[in-house]
Chains A and B, each alone.
Chain A
Amino acid sequence: MFHLHGRITDGHDCVPFRKTTPQLLRQLMKRWTAIWVFLVIAGVFLLTWRVAHPPQAAAVPAVTEVELSQLQLAVEPVNAELADLWKRHDVAPAEAADDLTVLRRLSLALHGTVPSLEQVRAFEADTRPDRLDHWTDDMLDDRRFADYFAERLGRSYVGVEGGQFIIFRRDRFKAWLADELQNHTPYDEIVQQMISAEGVWTGDGEVNFLTSGFADGEFDPNKITARTVRAFLGQRMDCAQCHNHPFDHWKQSEFEGLAAYYGKVSLSMAGVTDNRKMEFRIKADALDEGRVVEPSVPFNPEWRGTDGTPREQLARWMTHPENKRFERAIANRVWGLMFGKPFLQHLPVDDLPDPDTNDDLKTLDLLGAEFRAHDCDLRWLIRTIAATDAFRLSSTHPLATNADLARLSPDEIEERKKQVDQTEEYWAVFPLVRLRPEQVIGSMIQSTNIHTVDQNSHLIIRILRFARENDFVREFGDPGVDELQDRVGTIPQALLRMNGNLSRELTEPGGLLAPGRIASVSPTPEAAVNTAFMACLSRNATTKEIAYFAEHERWEKDRGQEIQDLYWTLFNSPEFSWNH
């Protein structure tokens, strides 16, 4: 295995405060010679490569003030509706969160990590009143957004399984989707490409949406139909495969009609195509002759149009401007990815009620309408959600303060708990949501680096991230396609965070990583503690925390040990693991 660190310091052999920088450097040089040589070679290589491949100029111009004022216009009705929602359910909104907390939420939602120290310092120096809106835009233009969101959205389109390698390439699908996001392709076009895909799965990434439906060499139209309805309409017709939906209005015949659109999908020399000669038959068992089912849609057949292949017609129907379910489904999913919970918190993200049946969902409809008005631009949707009051509220609430609670009787406490739950249910306080595994490791790696970890990062950091992320996610337990479902942590996760190799390696107080650098360059223990807090929790330490973590005597004795213990504690704190 690749070893990142030489041991520069440990509990007994640590760099005392008074050592001068040249001494430190010499010591570093001695033990890191091999790595330095490697770094220099890697650096030269990268430089040469960079010269040969100059970075492409950003295709999209930076955000304009006009756009920002449009954003204000877009978000106003949503905020008015949220205020109405709170009034209807008699809940009082929390105070506004501070900007750094919001920046942290944005970074976790859009890049899967906490913001880097480098970013935090730049953000603090930014004096623009609408800096959060500007930063949201910058984050959206960063390639990390396209890559990260492609994985998140992709889970609802192709699941998480590797599937049948010969005909399904998840990596190709993800790369295709990331490119589409990076290129600002309107979302309805992205969906149309998937539904009507034809060609070879290795060349045309979107074809994998269909080939993920192959099992044992046979295409399963039901699987892809159920997935289509869940991903693009935000509803579930799965049960209707076998019988009429027990609670909902979906009929088996409606499901079969939709499935028939995929009924001609077959493999040929040219990849996936529709075999016109094929009939879609529903059979009771192997011996049954079956009955032929023709393609049909459950409502508004006129949206399909008359030209194009059957799947092109289905795609047109699915994304039709009047199909409210389509925009709601994506609004709810993006809301879920931003907050960690879908808008209707007690229902799965893809199990929305029918339009116009639930007043509380007006927020989603307004967001959906905005999204349509902006040419199905996913970035616009994200910007709007990020600018809502709900996204910018604090996760603390006066109803849940300790001093207040101490005076209440047990019954009153129960009542209060219910009120607090309601406050969270209707978005009057920012929810506490457990970070997903990739966010946990992303944040651990980012918080032990001063600079932003991205495609321009140091080779070693990228190797570390690449080599460790998958292992860590596997060991931590990947929630798969249900990643927006509420869940608590597990014992193995706690053990991994507390005792795992990665947390030990990352917090070792030597080398290039943040803990060692913070310990050696901070003028005082207080400064070191504050910097570590900022790196991990995106905030300064409180007076009480400073009093505990910045004891001068201890730091003078062994600052390496202190910084390592501090990082360990920060990594294991609930504040680190729960988005807030």
Chain B
Amino acid sequence: MHRTIQNWFSHVTRREALQIGLGLGVSCLLPSLELRAANKRGDERPKSLIVLWMAGGQSQLDSWDPHPESKYGGPVKAIDTTVSGLQIADTYPHMAEQMQHLSVIRSMVSKEGDHERGTYYVQTGYRPDPTVIHPAMSAVVASRLHNPAVEIPQHIALATGEGFVVPRGGYLGNQLDAFRVFDPGNNLQNLNKQVDDQRQERRLEGLKVLSDSFRKGREFRVADTLHEHVVGQALTMMNSEQLKALKLDDEPKEVIDRYGDSRFGRGCLVARRLVETGVRAIQVTLNGFDTHVNNHEGQAELAKTLDPAFAALVQDLVERDLWDSTVVLCLTEFGRTPMIVLNEGRNHWPIGFSCVVGGGGFRSGVVVGETDPDAGAAEDNVALTKRTPPKDPVTVPDLYATILTQLGLDYQEEIITPIGRPLVLAEGTPISQLLPG
């Protein structure tokens, strides 16, 4: 390679340059660099984040914060868990066996009561702002804990549904938008080349001819487009051994069944495999929690999917000694009203909903906050986001300040956004009850 050409690639690392070369030339096996890091276990291992995203608004009363004693509690019953004094809904029997590894926050408060805006707020820690798009917390983690040994995207959304549920890179750049896998374990979208190796090689050679033409008189500027670089990354990914993490061919049927053979269940299993590969940020989505009618039935039906998958994920991560290096978060855009409305439904409730957090060295068995289900009806004519918050309220920025701290990152780090305004990674304060020691 000509000396000056190396210079044009000065912002691309040697390894990336190697990948571009490989991508555009003949594919061959990449040396498995930093294998040792991938094999590290316990708290020595670099950390990852898995977010289980309950799209539509999971009912706290039908999951992590049941109140069967209240007249607003609905038909749900509470069961004991492996943490003394902590009860969860009886629709989560498998999770009841795993709660000693986890903590529950029952006093989450949000400022948004609409699905799209609420999702944005809870995923980013910032309210929607027309002048800037904030990155989702998972994108922040993927960018700040970038793993050079990973050839597949570092930010992956599994079993995704509607577009706005897919976490975005925002002002960190759209290369940090989550890579979407619609049906985990099945037909990876657009990852198979259309033609045999020989033709593919010929096509890529042709691409080089065209890239050379285009570069004439446009040196520097064509390199700045990163077009070839991104094509190279895509080809590296297509040829990567690590793609195996996204496939389930080699998983025994029993394992898949333990997680549940659904998009979400397979998503949780794939998430575990991705963490093993070194991917830093994964979101698995379970959709359908928006139960404005028949709330209890709807929530109970989804519990059948969430309960075994979440429990199997926790169990596997613990057994494989990955628990201390993996933060697992089960989160939703808002909860559901304590009041039961027409047709046994529950509406949106951003003031006092639940989330479950654990792993990554977090303290377990902690319960933060407490809700009074009877308080909801008392403030019937007050706007949702203006109601009296529950005891020890936790804002979304607080939650993210806590998670970033536990991941070893500075949540107060300021980023200069494209509009020139500096923004901190998370505007909250860490929740000390959850942090170790």
- Name A's B-contacting residues (CB within 8 A): 159, 161, 215-216, 223, 226-227, 230, 236, 238-239, 246-247, 285-286, 348, 351, 394-398, 400-402, 405-406, 408, 410, 413-414, 416-417, 420-421, 424, 432, 434, 474, 477, 479-482, 485, 487-496, 498-500, 503-504, 542, 544-545, 548-549, 561, 565-566, 568-570, 572-575, 577-578, 580
Evaluate contact between A488 and B203: CB separation under 8 angstroms.
no
How many Å lie between the Cα of A216 and that of B117 in the bound state?
11
Q: Which of B133, B209, B212, B216 contacts A401 (CB 8 A)?
A: B216
Q: Is the CB of B116 within 8 A of A568?
A: no
**Complex Cα spacing A565 to B7, Å:** 32
Contacts of A410 in B (CB 8 A): 3-4, 7
Asked whether, in the complex, the Cβ of B222 is within 8 Å of the Cβ of A405, the reply is no
Q: What's the Cα separation between A420 and B225 when bound, in Å? A: 14
Query: How far is A485 from B131 in the complex, measured between Cα atoms in Å?
Result: 12
> Bound state CA distance, A496 and B192, in angstroms?
10
B113 within 8 A of partner (CB): yes
A488 in contact with B173 (CB, 8 Å): yes
Which of the listed residues A499, A549, A565 has the most CB atoms from chain B within 10 Å of its own CB?
A: A499
Q: Which residues of A contact B130 (CB under 8 A)?
A: 159, 223, 226-227, 230, 238, 481
Q: Is the CB of B221 within 8 A of A424?
A: yes
In this complex, how many residues of chain B approach chain A with their Cβ under 8 Å: the count is 67
Closest chain B residue to A423, Cβ basis? B221
Distance of A401 Cα from B219 Cα, bound (Å): 6
| B193 in the interface (beta carbon within 8 A) | yes
Which residue on chain B has the smallest CB distance to residue A493?
B230
Q: Contact: A545 with B234, CB < 8 Å?
A: no
Decide if B206 touches A489 in the complex (CB within 8 Å). no
Most buried by B among A494, A503, A568, A570: A494
B419 near A348 (CB under 8 angstroms)? yes
Collect the chain B residues with CB atoms within 8 Å of residue A238's CB: 129-131
With A161-B116, A410-B7, A569-B210 as given contacts, are A495 and B191 in contact (CB-CB < 8 Å)? yes
- Restricting to B97-131, which residues have a CB under 8 Å from any CB of A? 113-114, 116-117, 129-131
Tell whether, in the assembled complex, residue A348 and residue B418 are in contact, meaning their CB atoms are under 8 Å apart. Answer: yes
CB contacts (< 8 Å) of A490 on chain B: these are 174-175, 177, 230
Given the interface pairs A413-B4, A487-B174, A491-B233, the reply to whether A573 lies near B207 with Cβ below 8 Å is yes
Interface centre among B153, B214, B386, by most chain A C-beta atoms within 10 angstroms, is B214
Cβ contact of A398, chosen from B179, B210, B217, B226, cutoff 8 A: B217
Complex interface residues of chain B between 244 and 299 (CB less than 8 A to chain A): none
Chain A residues within 8 Å of B179, by CB: 491-492
Q: Shortest CB–CB separation between residue A247 and chain B, in angstroms?
A: 7
CB contacts (< 8 Å) of A494 on chain B: these are 230-231, 233-234
A572, B199: Cβ atoms closer than 8 Å = no
Task: Give B residues with C-beta under 8 Å from A.
Answer: 2-4, 7-8, 113-114, 116-117, 129-131, 133, 153, 163, 173-175, 177, 179-180, 189-195, 199, 202-203, 205-207, 209-222, 224-228, 230-231, 233-234, 237-238, 382-384, 386, 418-421
- List 16 additional A-B contacts (Cβ < 8 Å) besides A230-B130, A420-B219, A580-B218: A227-B130, A236-B419, A285-B386, A408-B4, A477-B174, A481-B130, A488-B173, A491-B230, A492-B180, A542-B213, A565-B203, A566-B206, A573-B214, A574-B211, A574-B214, A580-B214
B7 touches A400 (CB 8 A): no
On whether the beta carbons of A565 and B230 are closer than 8 Å, the reply is: no
A491 CB contacts on chain B under 8 angstroms: 153, 175, 179, 230, 233-234, 237
| Contact (A574, B2) CB under 8 Å given A236-B131, A569-B207 | no
Chain A residues lying within 8 Å of B212, measured Cβ to Cβ, are: 544
- 17 example contacts (A-B, Cβ-Cβ < 8 A) are as follows A223-B130, A236-B419, A238-B130, A286-B382, A413-B7, A416-B220, A432-B218, A434-B225, A485-B418, A487-B174, A489-B225, A489-B230, A491-B237, A493-B230, A495-B238, A569-B207, A572-B231
Return chain A residues, CB-CB under 8 Å to B7.
410, 413-414
A394 to B418, CA, bound (A): 28
Evaluate contact between B214 and A549: CB separation under 8 angstroms. Answer: no
Q: How far does the Cβ of B146 sit from chain A's closest Cβ, in whole Å? A: 14
Given contacts A215-B117, A477-B177, whether A568 and B226 have CB atoms under 8 Å apart is no
Please, which residues of chain A bring their CB within 8 A of the CB of B189? 495
Chain B: minimal CB distance from A53 (Å): 37
Contacts of B174 in A (CB 8 A): 477, 479, 487-488, 490
Contact between chains at B219 and A400 (CB < 8 Å): yes
Distance (Å) between the CB of A1 and the closest chain B CB?
15
B209 close to A544 (CB less than 8 A):
yes
Contacts of B195 in A (CB 8 A): 565
Give which listed residue, A216, A405, A503, contacts B113 with CB less than 8 A: A216
Docked-complex contact A574 and B228, CB < 8 angstroms: yes
B175 nearest CB neighbor, chain A only: A490
Q: Is the CB of B386 within 8 A of A286?
A: yes
Task: Name the residue on B nearest A482 (C-beta).
Answer: B133
Select which of A421, A482, A573 is within 8 A of B210 by beta carbon. A573
Is there contact, CB below 8 Å, between A495 and B213?
no
* Closest residue of A by beta carbon distance from B180: A492
In the complex, what residues of B have CB within 8 A of residue A424's CB?
221
Interface contact A432-B175, CB-CB below 8 Å: no
> Which of B3, B215, B217, B227 meets A397, CB within 8 Å?
B217
Contacts of B215 in A (CB 8 A): 402
Contact B230–A545 (Cβ < 8 Å)? no
Residues of B within 8 A of A394 (CB): 217
Contact between chains at B2 and A406 (CB < 8 Å): yes
Cβ distance A408 to chain B, nearest Cβ, rounded Å: 7
Query: Closest CB of chain B to A382's CB: distance in Å?
Result: 26
Residues in chain A near residue B193, CB distance under 8 A: 498-499
Q: Is the CB of A395 within 8 A of B218?
A: yes
Task: Decide: B220 and A286 in contact? CB cutoff 8 A.
Answer: no
Name the A residues within 8 Å of B383 (CB-CB).
286
Q: Is the CB of A499 within 8 A of B191?
A: yes
Residues on A with C-beta less than 8 A from B192 are 499
